[in-house]
Structure 1
Protein backbone atom coordinates (compact mmCIF):
# COMPACT_ATOMS: atom_id res chain seq x y z
CA UNK A 1 0.00 0.00 0.00
CA UNK A 2 2.86 2.37 0.79
CA UNK A 3 4.40 1.92 -2.66
CA UNK A 4 1.00 2.46 -4.26
CA UNK A 5 0.46 5.71 -2.35
CA UNK A 6 3.90 7.02 -3.28
CA UNK A 7 3.35 6.09 -6.93
CA UNK A 8 -0.08 7.74 -6.97
CA UNK A 9 1.21 10.93 -5.38
CA UNK A 10 4.07 11.10 -7.89
CA UNK A 11 1.56 10.69 -10.71
CA UNK A 12 -0.11 13.86 -9.49
CA UNK A 13 2.85 15.93 -10.68
CA UNK A 14 2.44 15.48 -14.47
CA UNK A 15 -1.35 15.76 -14.13
CA UNK A 16 -1.09 19.08 -12.29
CA UNK A 17 1.50 20.33 -14.79
CA UNK A 18 -0.89 19.57 -17.64
CA UNK A 19 -3.72 21.29 -15.79
CA UNK A 20 -1.53 24.32 -15.18
CA UNK A 21 -0.76 24.55 -18.90
CA UNK A 22 -4.44 24.26 -19.84
CA UNK A 23 -5.44 26.91 -17.30
CA UNK A 24 -2.66 29.23 -18.46
CA UNK A 25 -3.73 28.92 -22.11
CA UNK A 26 -7.44 29.34 -21.37
CA UNK A 27 -6.81 32.47 -19.31
CA UNK A 28 -4.84 33.99 -22.16
CA UNK A 29 -7.52 33.30 -24.78
CA UNK A 30 -10.47 34.58 -22.74
CA UNK A 31 -9.50 38.21 -23.18
CA UNK A 32 -7.04 40.87 -22.20
CA UNK A 33 -6.83 40.98 -18.37
CA UNK A 34 -5.53 44.55 -18.51
CA UNK A 35 -8.69 45.71 -20.29
CA UNK A 36 -10.80 43.87 -17.72
CA UNK A 37 -8.98 45.28 -14.70
CA UNK A 38 -8.77 48.91 -15.74
CA UNK A 39 -11.74 51.29 -16.10
CA UNK A 40 -12.73 52.61 -19.50
CA UNK A 41 -11.23 56.01 -18.61
CA UNK A 42 -7.73 54.52 -18.27
CA UNK A 43 -5.04 55.96 -20.53
CA UNK A 44 -2.59 54.08 -22.74
CA UNK A 45 0.12 54.85 -20.20
CA UNK A 46 -1.97 53.18 -17.48
CA UNK A 47 -2.45 50.12 -19.67
CA UNK A 48 1.25 49.92 -20.48
CA UNK A 49 2.20 50.22 -16.81
CA UNK A 50 -0.22 47.48 -15.71
CA UNK A 51 0.93 45.26 -18.58
CA UNK A 52 4.52 45.49 -17.34
CA UNK A 53 3.48 44.91 -13.72
CA UNK A 54 1.60 41.74 -14.69
CA UNK A 55 4.45 40.54 -16.88
CA UNK A 56 2.24 40.37 -19.95
CA UNK A 57 4.91 42.04 -22.09
CA UNK A 58 7.17 38.99 -21.68
CA UNK A 59 7.24 36.01 -24.09
CA UNK A 60 4.61 33.36 -23.39
CA UNK A 61 7.11 30.75 -22.18
CA UNK A 62 8.45 33.20 -19.60
CA UNK A 63 4.90 34.09 -18.54
CA UNK A 64 4.13 30.39 -18.07
CA UNK A 65 7.31 29.86 -16.06
CA UNK A 66 6.40 32.73 -13.73
CA UNK A 67 2.83 31.46 -13.45
CA UNK A 68 4.01 27.91 -12.63
CA UNK A 69 6.53 29.14 -10.06
CA UNK A 70 3.90 31.25 -8.33
CA UNK A 71 1.34 28.42 -8.45
CA UNK A 72 3.75 26.03 -6.71
CA UNK A 73 4.00 28.62 -3.93
CA UNK A 74 0.21 28.91 -3.73
CA UNK A 75 0.10 32.28 -5.44
CA UNK A 76 -2.51 32.36 -8.20
CA UNK A 77 -2.73 36.11 -8.34
CA UNK A 78 -4.89 38.76 -6.72
CA UNK A 79 -8.61 38.96 -7.30
CA UNK A 80 -9.30 42.38 -8.78
CA UNK A 81 -12.89 42.16 -7.55
CA UNK A 82 -12.07 41.43 -3.90
CA UNK A 83 -8.56 42.89 -3.82
CA UNK A 84 -7.24 39.80 -2.00
CA UNK A 85 -5.13 36.77 -2.85
CA UNK A 86 -7.23 34.27 -4.80
CA UNK A 87 -6.30 31.03 -3.02
CA UNK A 88 -7.48 32.06 0.49
CA UNK A 89 -10.78 33.20 -1.03
CA UNK A 90 -11.26 29.79 -2.63
CA UNK A 91 -10.28 27.88 0.51
CA UNK A 92 -12.64 30.06 2.53
CA UNK A 93 -15.57 28.84 0.44
CA UNK A 94 -14.66 25.14 0.56
CA UNK A 95 -16.27 24.35 3.97
CA UNK A 96 -19.68 25.49 2.71
CA UNK A 97 -19.34 23.34 -0.41
CA UNK A 98 -18.18 20.35 1.67
CA UNK A 99 -21.13 20.80 4.01
CA UNK A 100 -23.62 20.81 1.15
CA UNK A 101 -21.92 17.91 -0.65
CA UNK A 102 -21.82 15.72 2.47
CA UNK A 103 -25.47 16.45 3.24
CA UNK A 104 -26.56 15.65 -0.32
CA UNK A 105 -24.48 12.48 -0.41
CA UNK A 106 -25.78 11.30 2.98
CA UNK A 107 -29.36 11.89 1.84
CA UNK A 108 -28.72 10.01 -1.40
CA UNK A 109 -27.20 7.02 0.41
CA UNK A 110 -30.05 6.82 2.94
CA UNK A 111 -32.59 6.82 0.11
CA UNK A 112 -30.77 4.76 -2.53
CA UNK A 113 -29.49 1.77 -0.56
CA UNK A 114 -32.82 0.49 0.84
CA UNK A 115 -34.76 1.35 -2.33
CA UNK A 116 -32.17 -0.27 -4.62
CA UNK A 117 -32.06 -3.47 -2.57
CA UNK A 118 -35.85 -3.60 -2.20
CA UNK A 119 -36.35 -3.08 -5.92
CA UNK A 120 -33.93 -5.91 -6.75
CA UNK A 121 -35.46 -8.32 -4.24
CA UNK A 122 -38.98 -7.54 -5.54
CA UNK A 123 -37.96 -7.80 -9.18
CA UNK A 124 -40.75 -7.33 -11.76
CA UNK A 125 -43.35 -6.60 -9.08
CA UNK A 126 -45.32 -3.39 -8.62
CA UNK A 127 -42.77 -2.25 -6.02
CA UNK A 128 -39.92 -2.69 -8.50
CA UNK A 129 -41.78 -0.86 -11.25
CA UNK A 130 -42.75 1.98 -8.91
CA UNK A 131 -39.20 2.46 -7.55
CA UNK A 132 -37.74 2.33 -11.07
CA UNK A 133 -40.26 4.92 -12.25
CA UNK A 134 -39.50 7.25 -9.35
CA UNK A 135 -35.78 6.85 -10.06
CA UNK A 136 -36.21 7.84 -13.69
CA UNK A 137 -38.31 10.84 -12.66
CA UNK A 138 -35.77 11.94 -10.05
CA UNK A 139 -32.94 11.72 -12.55
CA UNK A 140 -34.89 13.58 -15.23
CA UNK A 141 -35.78 16.63 -13.12
CA UNK A 142 -33.27 19.48 -13.56
CA UNK A 143 -31.69 20.74 -10.35
CA UNK A 144 -32.58 24.38 -11.00
CA UNK A 145 -36.26 23.51 -11.54
CA UNK A 146 -36.44 21.33 -8.44
CA UNK A 147 -34.73 24.00 -6.35
CA UNK A 148 -37.16 26.68 -7.48
CA UNK A 149 -40.15 24.42 -6.84
CA UNK A 150 -38.90 23.57 -3.34
CA UNK A 151 -38.43 27.25 -2.57
CA UNK A 152 -41.92 28.13 -3.81
CA UNK A 153 -43.57 25.31 -1.85
CA UNK A 154 -41.67 25.06 1.42
CA UNK A 155 -40.29 28.60 1.75
CA UNK A 156 -42.77 30.95 0.08
CA UNK A 157 -46.08 29.11 0.55
CA UNK A 158 -45.51 27.14 3.78
CA UNK A 159 -42.71 29.23 5.30
CA UNK A 160 -41.00 26.17 6.78
CA UNK A 161 -37.48 26.87 5.53
CA UNK A 162 -35.41 29.95 4.68
CA UNK A 163 -35.37 31.00 1.05
CA UNK A 164 -31.59 31.28 0.76
CA UNK A 165 -28.30 31.66 2.57
CA UNK A 166 -26.24 29.47 4.87
CA UNK A 167 -26.98 29.12 8.55
CA UNK A 168 -28.39 26.27 10.59
CA UNK A 169 -29.91 22.97 9.58
CA UNK A 170 -33.00 24.62 8.12
CA UNK A 171 -30.86 26.44 5.55
CA UNK A 172 -29.23 23.16 4.49
CA UNK A 173 -32.30 20.97 3.94
CA UNK A 174 -33.66 22.35 0.67
CA UNK A 175 -30.36 22.60 -1.25
CA UNK A 176 -29.35 19.15 0.03
CA UNK A 177 -32.63 17.69 -1.24
CA UNK A 178 -32.15 19.45 -4.57
CA UNK A 179 -28.76 17.82 -5.08
CA UNK A 180 -29.49 14.55 -3.31
CA UNK A 181 -32.61 13.50 -5.23
CA UNK A 182 -30.88 13.22 -8.60
CA UNK A 183 -27.91 11.44 -7.07
CA UNK A 184 -30.19 9.06 -5.14
CA UNK A 185 -32.05 8.20 -8.33
CA UNK A 186 -28.82 7.31 -10.11
CA UNK A 187 -27.50 5.26 -7.19
CA UNK A 188 -30.81 3.42 -6.77
CA UNK A 189 -30.73 2.17 -10.36
CA UNK A 190 -27.08 1.17 -10.03
CA UNK A 191 -27.64 -0.71 -6.78
CA UNK A 192 -30.66 -2.48 -8.28
CA UNK A 193 -28.76 -3.65 -11.36
CA UNK A 194 -25.79 -4.84 -9.27
CA UNK A 195 -27.99 -6.66 -6.81
CA UNK A 196 -29.94 -8.38 -9.59
CA UNK A 197 -26.70 -9.75 -11.00
CA UNK A 198 -25.35 -10.85 -7.62
CA UNK A 199 -28.59 -12.46 -6.41
CA UNK A 200 -28.34 -14.92 -9.30
CA UNK A 201 -24.83 -16.06 -8.34
CA UNK A 202 -24.21 -19.62 -7.14
CA UNK A 203 -22.87 -18.60 -3.74
CA UNK A 204 -26.12 -16.74 -2.99
CA UNK A 205 -28.15 -19.83 -3.82
CA UNK A 206 -25.79 -21.89 -1.66
CA UNK A 207 -26.22 -19.51 1.28
CA UNK A 208 -29.99 -19.69 0.94
CA UNK A 209 -29.94 -23.47 0.72
CA UNK A 210 -28.12 -23.58 4.06
CA UNK A 211 -31.10 -21.86 5.66
CA UNK A 212 -29.28 -18.61 6.42
CA UNK A 213 -31.60 -15.75 7.32
CA UNK A 214 -32.58 -13.85 4.15
CA UNK A 215 -31.65 -10.42 5.48
CA UNK A 216 -28.21 -11.77 6.39
CA UNK A 217 -27.77 -13.22 2.90
CA UNK A 218 -28.74 -9.94 1.25
CA UNK A 219 -26.85 -7.67 3.63
CA UNK A 220 -23.56 -9.52 4.05
CA UNK A 221 -23.15 -11.72 1.00
CA UNK A 222 -24.98 -9.83 -1.72
CA UNK A 223 -24.83 -6.13 -0.92
CA UNK A 224 -21.20 -6.05 0.21
CA UNK A 225 -20.04 -7.65 -3.04
CA UNK A 226 -22.05 -5.10 -5.00
CA UNK A 227 -20.57 -2.08 -3.24
CA UNK A 228 -17.58 -1.47 -5.52
CA UNK A 229 -19.58 0.11 -8.38
CA UNK A 230 -21.53 2.10 -5.80
CA UNK A 231 -18.32 3.39 -4.21
CA UNK A 232 -17.11 4.38 -7.68
CA UNK A 233 -20.20 6.42 -8.49
CA UNK A 234 -20.18 7.97 -5.01
CA UNK A 235 -16.57 9.07 -5.49
CA UNK A 236 -17.25 10.55 -8.92
CA UNK A 237 -20.42 12.29 -7.81
CA UNK A 238 -18.92 13.67 -4.61
CA UNK A 239 -16.08 15.32 -6.49
CA UNK A 240 -18.56 16.78 -8.95
CA UNK A 241 -20.65 18.08 -6.05
CA UNK A 242 -17.68 20.04 -4.71
CA UNK A 243 -16.95 21.88 -7.93
CA UNK A 244 -20.13 21.45 -9.90
CA UNK A 245 -22.95 22.69 -7.68
CA UNK A 246 -23.00 25.98 -9.56
CA UNK A 247 -26.70 26.11 -10.30
CA UNK A 248 -27.89 24.91 -6.90
CA UNK A 249 -25.61 27.28 -4.98
CA UNK A 250 -26.77 30.13 -7.19
CA UNK A 251 -30.47 29.30 -6.73
CA UNK A 252 -30.16 29.12 -2.94
CA UNK A 253 -27.46 31.83 -2.64
CA UNK A 254 -25.30 29.23 -0.89
CA UNK A 255 -21.86 30.78 -0.25
CA UNK A 256 -19.84 27.88 -1.59
CA UNK A 257 -17.17 27.39 -4.20
CA UNK A 258 -19.72 27.04 -6.99
CA UNK A 259 -21.23 30.45 -6.39
CA UNK A 260 -17.76 31.99 -6.19
CA UNK A 261 -16.83 30.41 -9.52
CA UNK A 262 -19.99 31.70 -11.22
CA UNK A 263 -19.33 35.26 -10.06
CA UNK A 264 -15.63 34.96 -11.02
CA UNK A 265 -16.48 33.82 -14.54
CA UNK A 266 -19.11 36.53 -14.96
CA UNK A 267 -16.63 39.22 -13.91
CA UNK A 268 -13.63 37.62 -15.66
CA UNK A 269 -11.82 37.33 -12.33
CA UNK A 270 -9.32 34.79 -13.65
CA UNK A 271 -7.17 34.63 -10.51
CA UNK A 272 -10.05 33.00 -8.65
CA UNK A 273 -10.82 30.71 -11.59
CA UNK A 274 -7.20 29.53 -11.67
CA UNK A 275 -7.08 28.87 -7.93
CA UNK A 276 -10.45 27.08 -7.94
CA UNK A 277 -9.47 24.81 -10.84
CA UNK A 278 -6.27 23.75 -9.07
CA UNK A 279 -8.01 23.13 -5.76
CA UNK A 280 -10.72 21.03 -7.43
CA UNK A 281 -8.13 19.10 -9.46
CA UNK A 282 -6.12 18.21 -6.35
CA UNK A 283 -9.30 17.16 -4.54
CA UNK A 284 -10.38 14.94 -7.44
CA UNK A 285 -6.98 13.20 -7.56
CA UNK A 286 -6.98 12.59 -3.79
CA UNK A 287 -10.54 11.24 -3.93
CA UNK A 288 -9.53 8.78 -6.64
CA UNK A 289 -6.65 7.54 -4.49
CA UNK A 290 -8.97 7.18 -1.49
CA UNK A 291 -11.47 5.27 -3.64
CA UNK A 292 -8.79 2.78 -4.67
CA UNK A 293 -7.97 2.20 -1.01
CA UNK A 294 -11.64 1.59 -0.20
CA UNK A 295 -11.77 -0.99 -3.02
CA UNK A 296 -9.10 -2.99 -1.20
CA UNK A 297 -11.07 -2.89 2.04
CA UNK A 298 -14.23 -4.11 0.32
CA UNK A 299 -12.54 -6.81 -1.73
CA UNK A 300 -9.20 -8.17 -0.39
CA UNK A 301 -8.62 -9.89 -3.76
CA UNK A 302 -7.86 -6.50 -5.34
CA UNK A 303 -4.13 -5.92 -5.44
CA UNK A 304 -2.26 -2.63 -5.68
CA UNK A 305 0.01 -2.24 -8.68
Structure 2
Protein backbone atom coordinates (compact mmCIF):
# COMPACT_ATOMS: atom_id res chain seq x y z
CA UNK A 1 0.00 0.00 0.00
CA UNK A 2 2.77 2.43 0.96
CA UNK A 3 4.77 1.65 -2.18
CA UNK A 4 1.67 2.12 -4.32
CA UNK A 5 0.93 5.50 -2.74
CA UNK A 6 4.51 6.67 -3.28
CA UNK A 7 4.25 5.68 -6.95
CA UNK A 8 0.93 7.50 -7.33
CA UNK A 9 2.30 10.67 -5.70
CA UNK A 10 5.31 10.58 -8.03
CA UNK A 11 2.93 10.21 -10.98
CA UNK A 12 1.24 13.46 -9.98
CA UNK A 13 4.33 15.48 -10.98
CA UNK A 14 4.26 14.75 -14.75
CA UNK A 15 0.47 15.10 -14.73
CA UNK A 16 0.75 18.59 -13.23
CA UNK A 17 3.42 19.52 -15.77
CA UNK A 18 1.13 18.35 -18.58
CA UNK A 19 -1.75 20.36 -17.11
CA UNK A 20 0.36 23.51 -16.91
CA UNK A 21 1.45 22.96 -20.51
CA UNK A 22 -2.17 22.65 -21.69
CA UNK A 23 -3.38 25.62 -19.63
CA UNK A 24 -0.54 27.83 -20.87
CA UNK A 25 -1.13 27.09 -24.54
CA UNK A 26 -4.90 27.37 -24.29
CA UNK A 27 -4.42 30.84 -22.83
CA UNK A 28 -1.70 31.62 -25.38
CA UNK A 29 -4.03 30.76 -28.26
CA UNK A 30 -6.81 32.93 -26.78
CA UNK A 31 -5.10 36.04 -28.07
CA UNK A 32 -3.11 39.03 -26.90
CA UNK A 33 -4.27 40.18 -23.43
CA UNK A 34 -2.53 43.55 -23.72
CA UNK A 35 -5.36 45.05 -25.76
CA UNK A 36 -7.76 44.26 -22.90
CA UNK A 37 -5.49 45.44 -20.12
CA UNK A 38 -4.91 48.91 -21.50
CA UNK A 39 -7.47 51.64 -22.28
CA UNK A 40 -8.49 52.36 -25.86
CA UNK A 41 -6.45 55.56 -25.96
CA UNK A 42 -3.21 53.77 -25.06
CA UNK A 43 -0.25 54.75 -27.19
CA UNK A 44 1.84 52.20 -29.13
CA UNK A 45 4.65 52.94 -26.68
CA UNK A 46 2.40 51.98 -23.73
CA UNK A 47 1.43 48.76 -25.50
CA UNK A 48 5.03 47.86 -26.21
CA UNK A 49 6.13 48.61 -22.63
CA UNK A 50 3.42 46.35 -21.22
CA UNK A 51 4.24 43.56 -23.64
CA UNK A 52 7.86 43.85 -22.56
CA UNK A 53 6.90 43.77 -18.87
CA UNK A 54 4.75 40.66 -19.39
CA UNK A 55 7.51 38.94 -21.41
CA UNK A 56 5.12 38.62 -24.37
CA UNK A 57 7.85 39.60 -26.82
CA UNK A 58 9.88 36.54 -25.88
CA UNK A 59 9.67 33.24 -27.85
CA UNK A 60 6.94 30.84 -26.76
CA UNK A 61 9.30 28.36 -25.00
CA UNK A 62 10.81 31.24 -23.01
CA UNK A 63 7.33 32.45 -22.06
CA UNK A 64 6.45 28.95 -20.90
CA UNK A 65 9.63 28.84 -18.84
CA UNK A 66 8.70 32.11 -17.13
CA UNK A 67 5.21 30.71 -16.56
CA UNK A 68 6.58 27.59 -14.84
CA UNK A 69 8.96 29.66 -12.74
CA UNK A 70 6.14 31.90 -11.56
CA UNK A 71 3.89 28.90 -11.03
CA UNK A 72 6.34 27.31 -8.60
CA UNK A 73 6.14 30.53 -6.60
CA UNK A 74 2.32 30.51 -6.68
CA UNK A 75 2.22 33.45 -9.08
CA UNK A 76 -0.33 33.19 -11.89
CA UNK A 77 -0.06 36.85 -12.75
CA UNK A 78 -2.22 39.88 -12.09
CA UNK A 79 -5.93 39.96 -12.79
CA UNK A 80 -6.46 43.11 -14.84
CA UNK A 81 -10.13 43.17 -13.81
CA UNK A 82 -9.47 43.10 -10.07
CA UNK A 83 -5.94 44.59 -10.18
CA UNK A 84 -4.82 41.86 -7.76
CA UNK A 85 -2.84 38.61 -7.95
CA UNK A 86 -5.03 35.90 -9.48
CA UNK A 87 -4.43 33.01 -7.07
CA UNK A 88 -5.68 34.75 -3.88
CA UNK A 89 -8.87 35.72 -5.72
CA UNK A 90 -9.45 32.11 -6.77
CA UNK A 91 -8.74 30.77 -3.29
CA UNK A 92 -11.15 33.32 -1.83
CA UNK A 93 -13.97 31.99 -4.02
CA UNK A 94 -13.04 28.30 -3.64
CA UNK A 95 -14.62 27.67 -0.17
CA UNK A 96 -18.06 28.75 -1.42
CA UNK A 97 -17.85 26.28 -4.31
CA UNK A 98 -16.61 23.48 -2.04
CA UNK A 99 -19.51 24.06 0.36
CA UNK A 100 -21.96 23.95 -2.55
CA UNK A 101 -20.34 20.77 -3.91
CA UNK A 102 -20.42 19.02 -0.53
CA UNK A 103 -24.03 19.94 0.22
CA UNK A 104 -24.99 18.80 -3.29
CA UNK A 105 -23.23 15.50 -2.67
CA UNK A 106 -25.12 15.09 0.63
CA UNK A 107 -28.38 15.62 -1.27
CA UNK A 108 -27.30 13.09 -3.89
CA UNK A 109 -26.31 10.46 -1.31
CA UNK A 110 -29.52 10.89 0.68
CA UNK A 111 -31.49 10.26 -2.49
CA UNK A 112 -29.34 7.68 -4.26
CA UNK A 113 -28.52 5.17 -1.50
CA UNK A 114 -32.08 4.37 -0.37
CA UNK A 115 -33.41 4.62 -3.93
CA UNK A 116 -30.73 2.30 -5.34
CA UNK A 117 -31.11 -0.27 -2.57
CA UNK A 118 -34.92 -0.29 -2.81
CA UNK A 119 -34.74 -0.60 -6.59
CA UNK A 120 -32.41 -3.60 -6.33
CA UNK A 121 -34.33 -5.35 -3.56
CA UNK A 122 -37.70 -4.75 -5.29
CA UNK A 123 -36.42 -5.70 -8.72
CA UNK A 124 -38.96 -5.66 -11.58
CA UNK A 125 -41.67 -4.16 -9.38
CA UNK A 126 -43.46 -0.82 -9.64
CA UNK A 127 -40.97 0.71 -7.19
CA UNK A 128 -38.07 -0.44 -9.34
CA UNK A 129 -39.63 1.05 -12.47
CA UNK A 130 -40.39 4.30 -10.64
CA UNK A 131 -36.82 4.67 -9.35
CA UNK A 132 -35.37 3.77 -12.74
CA UNK A 133 -37.60 6.31 -14.43
CA UNK A 134 -36.60 8.96 -11.89
CA UNK A 135 -32.90 8.28 -12.46
CA UNK A 136 -33.30 8.57 -16.23
CA UNK A 137 -35.28 11.78 -15.87
CA UNK A 138 -32.78 13.25 -13.41
CA UNK A 139 -29.90 12.48 -15.74
CA UNK A 140 -31.69 13.94 -18.77
CA UNK A 141 -32.71 17.26 -17.18
CA UNK A 142 -30.23 20.08 -17.83
CA UNK A 143 -28.99 21.73 -14.64
CA UNK A 144 -29.88 25.23 -15.77
CA UNK A 145 -33.48 24.21 -16.62
CA UNK A 146 -34.01 22.48 -13.27
CA UNK A 147 -32.50 25.46 -11.47
CA UNK A 148 -34.81 27.90 -13.23
CA UNK A 149 -37.85 25.73 -12.44
CA UNK A 150 -36.89 25.52 -8.76
CA UNK A 151 -36.40 29.28 -8.65
CA UNK A 152 -39.80 29.80 -10.27
CA UNK A 153 -41.65 27.48 -7.86
CA UNK A 154 -39.89 28.02 -4.52
CA UNK A 155 -38.53 31.51 -5.03
CA UNK A 156 -41.19 33.32 -7.06
CA UNK A 157 -44.47 31.45 -6.55
CA UNK A 158 -44.11 30.15 -2.97
CA UNK A 159 -41.45 32.67 -1.88
CA UNK A 160 -40.03 30.29 0.73
CA UNK A 161 -36.40 30.15 -0.42
CA UNK A 162 -33.95 32.77 -1.73
CA UNK A 163 -32.81 32.44 -5.32
CA UNK A 164 -29.42 34.19 -5.22
CA UNK A 165 -26.44 34.83 -2.94
CA UNK A 166 -24.89 32.69 -0.20
CA UNK A 167 -25.52 34.57 3.04
CA UNK A 168 -27.30 31.76 4.95
CA UNK A 169 -27.86 28.02 4.67
CA UNK A 170 -31.21 28.70 2.98
CA UNK A 171 -29.34 30.10 -0.03
CA UNK A 172 -27.74 26.66 -0.52
CA UNK A 173 -30.97 24.66 -0.72
CA UNK A 174 -31.98 25.30 -4.33
CA UNK A 175 -28.44 25.19 -5.86
CA UNK A 176 -27.69 21.99 -3.91
CA UNK A 177 -30.84 20.27 -5.13
CA UNK A 178 -30.10 21.40 -8.68
CA UNK A 179 -26.58 19.96 -8.63
CA UNK A 180 -27.39 16.92 -6.51
CA UNK A 181 -30.25 15.66 -8.67
CA UNK A 182 -28.13 14.75 -11.69
CA UNK A 183 -25.49 13.14 -9.46
CA UNK A 184 -28.11 11.15 -7.52
CA UNK A 185 -29.50 9.79 -10.79
CA UNK A 186 -26.07 8.46 -11.80
CA UNK A 187 -25.38 7.03 -8.35
CA UNK A 188 -28.81 5.40 -8.09
CA UNK A 189 -28.27 3.37 -11.25
CA UNK A 190 -24.79 2.33 -10.15
CA UNK A 191 -25.93 1.30 -6.66
CA UNK A 192 -28.81 -0.68 -8.14
CA UNK A 193 -26.62 -2.62 -10.58
CA UNK A 194 -23.93 -3.20 -7.96
CA UNK A 195 -26.47 -4.41 -5.39
CA UNK A 196 -28.11 -6.74 -7.92
CA UNK A 197 -24.75 -8.37 -8.59
CA UNK A 198 -23.95 -8.74 -4.88
CA UNK A 199 -27.39 -10.15 -4.00
CA UNK A 200 -26.81 -13.01 -6.46
CA UNK A 201 -23.65 -14.15 -4.66
CA UNK A 202 -23.53 -17.50 -2.82
CA UNK A 203 -22.65 -15.99 0.55
CA UNK A 204 -25.82 -13.88 0.43
CA UNK A 205 -27.95 -16.99 -0.14
CA UNK A 206 -26.06 -18.76 2.65
CA UNK A 207 -26.65 -15.90 5.08
CA UNK A 208 -30.33 -15.86 4.12
CA UNK A 209 -30.64 -19.60 4.74
CA UNK A 210 -29.12 -19.14 8.20
CA UNK A 211 -31.91 -16.73 9.12
CA UNK A 212 -30.01 -13.44 8.99
CA UNK A 213 -32.41 -10.53 9.35
CA UNK A 214 -33.27 -8.89 5.98
CA UNK A 215 -32.01 -5.44 7.04
CA UNK A 216 -28.68 -6.87 8.24
CA UNK A 217 -28.42 -9.01 5.13
CA UNK A 218 -28.98 -6.06 2.79
CA UNK A 219 -26.95 -3.39 4.58
CA UNK A 220 -24.07 -5.33 6.19
CA UNK A 221 -23.53 -8.13 3.69
CA UNK A 222 -24.94 -6.54 0.55
CA UNK A 223 -24.49 -2.79 0.49
CA UNK A 224 -21.13 -2.79 2.29
CA UNK A 225 -19.62 -5.09 -0.33
CA UNK A 226 -21.02 -3.01 -3.19
CA UNK A 227 -19.31 0.19 -2.04
CA UNK A 228 -16.19 -0.02 -4.24
CA UNK A 229 -17.88 1.15 -7.48
CA UNK A 230 -19.99 3.56 -5.42
CA UNK A 231 -16.82 5.18 -4.00
CA UNK A 232 -15.49 5.51 -7.53
CA UNK A 233 -18.51 7.39 -8.81
CA UNK A 234 -18.79 9.37 -5.56
CA UNK A 235 -15.32 10.89 -5.81
CA UNK A 236 -15.52 11.37 -9.54
CA UNK A 237 -18.80 13.18 -9.08
CA UNK A 238 -17.35 15.42 -6.33
CA UNK A 239 -14.70 16.61 -8.76
CA UNK A 240 -17.39 16.98 -11.43
CA UNK A 241 -19.48 19.06 -9.05
CA UNK A 242 -16.57 21.38 -8.30
CA UNK A 243 -15.76 21.91 -11.97
CA UNK A 244 -19.35 21.71 -13.22
CA UNK A 245 -20.91 24.06 -10.68
CA UNK A 246 -20.25 27.05 -12.93
CA UNK A 247 -23.62 26.79 -14.70
CA UNK A 248 -25.55 26.49 -11.45
CA UNK A 249 -23.57 29.31 -9.85
CA UNK A 250 -24.37 31.58 -12.77
CA UNK A 251 -28.09 30.67 -12.65
CA UNK A 252 -28.34 31.37 -8.92
CA UNK A 253 -25.82 34.25 -8.87
CA UNK A 254 -23.84 32.21 -6.36
CA UNK A 255 -20.46 33.88 -5.72
CA UNK A 256 -18.24 30.83 -6.13
CA UNK A 257 -15.39 29.68 -8.31
CA UNK A 258 -17.67 28.75 -11.19
CA UNK A 259 -19.16 32.21 -11.50
CA UNK A 260 -15.68 33.74 -11.23
CA UNK A 261 -14.39 31.48 -14.02
CA UNK A 262 -17.29 32.33 -16.33
CA UNK A 263 -16.73 36.05 -15.77
CA UNK A 264 -13.00 35.62 -16.38
CA UNK A 265 -13.57 33.75 -19.65
CA UNK A 266 -16.06 36.35 -20.87
CA UNK A 267 -13.66 39.14 -19.94
CA UNK A 268 -10.56 37.23 -21.14
CA UNK A 269 -8.98 37.65 -17.72
CA UNK A 270 -6.49 34.88 -18.41
CA UNK A 271 -4.64 35.03 -15.10
CA UNK A 272 -7.87 34.06 -13.32
CA UNK A 273 -8.58 31.34 -15.89
CA UNK A 274 -5.13 29.80 -15.42
CA UNK A 275 -5.31 29.85 -11.63
CA UNK A 276 -8.86 28.46 -11.50
CA UNK A 277 -8.19 25.60 -13.93
CA UNK A 278 -4.99 24.66 -12.14
CA UNK A 279 -6.65 24.62 -8.70
CA UNK A 280 -9.53 22.47 -9.97
CA UNK A 281 -7.09 20.06 -11.64
CA UNK A 282 -5.13 19.59 -8.40
CA UNK A 283 -8.36 18.90 -6.53
CA UNK A 284 -9.40 16.24 -9.07
CA UNK A 285 -6.02 14.51 -8.84
CA UNK A 286 -6.04 14.31 -5.06
CA UNK A 287 -9.68 13.23 -4.90
CA UNK A 288 -8.80 10.30 -7.15
CA UNK A 289 -5.88 9.48 -4.86
CA UNK A 290 -8.20 9.49 -1.83
CA UNK A 291 -10.60 7.20 -3.71
CA UNK A 292 -7.79 4.68 -4.27
CA UNK A 293 -7.01 4.67 -0.54
CA UNK A 294 -10.65 4.14 0.38
CA UNK A 295 -10.87 1.15 -1.98
CA UNK A 296 -8.44 -0.72 0.26
CA UNK A 297 -10.23 0.34 3.45
CA UNK A 298 -13.68 -0.82 2.32
CA UNK A 299 -12.52 -3.93 0.47
CA UNK A 300 -9.41 -5.60 1.99
CA UNK A 301 -9.40 -8.06 -0.92
CA UNK A 302 -7.97 -5.33 -3.16
CA UNK A 303 -4.19 -5.58 -3.35
CA UNK A 304 -1.84 -2.92 -4.71
CA UNK A 305 1.24 -4.23 -6.48
Range of TM-score over shorter length: over 0.9
Residue aligning to 2:194? 194
Once the two structures are superposed, the pairs formed by residues 31-110 of structure 1 within 5 Å of their partners are 31-110=31-110
Report the equivalent of 2:10.
Answer: 10
Deviations 1:144-203 (A, max 9, x none): 001001111101111101120001111010000001111111111111111111111111
Q: Name the structure 1 match of 2:153.
A: 153
Q: Hey, what does 2:258 align to over in structure 1?
A: 258
SS at match of 2:113: helix
- Equivalents in 2 of 1:254, 1:158: separation in Å? 21
Instruction: Report whether the alignment pairs 1:243 with 2:243.
Output: yes
Q: Distance in 1 between matches of 2:212 and 2:291?
A: 31
1:274 is matched with 274
Q: Normalising by the residue count of structure 1, what TM-score does the alignment of the two structures yield? A: 0.98
How far residue 239 of structure 1 moved from its aligned partner, in angstroms, is 0.5
Q: Describe the superposition over 1:10-51 as per-residue Cα deviations: whole angstroms up to 9, x where unpaired.
A: 111111111111111111110111112112221111111111
Q: Which runs of 4+ in 1 moved over 6 A?
A: none
CA distance, structure 2, for counterparts of residue 211 and residue 90 of structure 1: 56
Q: How does 1:117-132 map to 2 (within 5 A)?
A: 117-132=117-132
TM-score (norm 2): 0.98
Is 1:208 the counterpart of 2:197 in the alignment? Answer: no
Distance 1:260 1:274 in 2: 12
Offset, 1:276: 0.8
- Alignment partner of 2:303: what SS? coil
Output the CA distance in 2 between the equivalents of 1:53 and 1:133.
Answer: 58
CA distance in 2, matches of 1:301, 1:90: 41
Q: Take 1:54 and 1:141, find their aligned partners in 2: how far apart are those partners?
A: 44
How many angstroms apart in 2 are the aligned matches of 1:126 and 1:67?
A: 58
Q: What SS does the corresponding residue of 2:84 show, helix, strand or coil?
A: coil
Measured after TM superposition, the shift of residue 58 of structure 1 is 1.0
Matched, 1:291 2:301: no
1:88 is paired with a residue whose SS is: helix
Deviation at 1:208, TM superposition (A): 0.5
Paired residue secondary structure (1:228): helix
Query: Structure 2: how far apart are the matches of 1:276 and 1:244?
Result: 13
**Partner deviation per Cα, 1:54-107 (whole Å, 9 max, x = no partner):** 001111111111100000110000000000000001111111011100100001
For residues 40 and 153 of structure 2, the distance between their equivalents in structure 1, rounded to whole angstroms, comes to 45
Separation of aligned partners in 2, 1:153 and 1:262: 26
Query: 5+ unaligned residues in a row in structure 2: which ranges?
Result: none
Distance 1:12 1:277 in 2: 16
Give 1:4 deviation, angstroms. 2.6
How many residues were matched structurally? 305
C-alpha RMSD of the superposition:
0.9
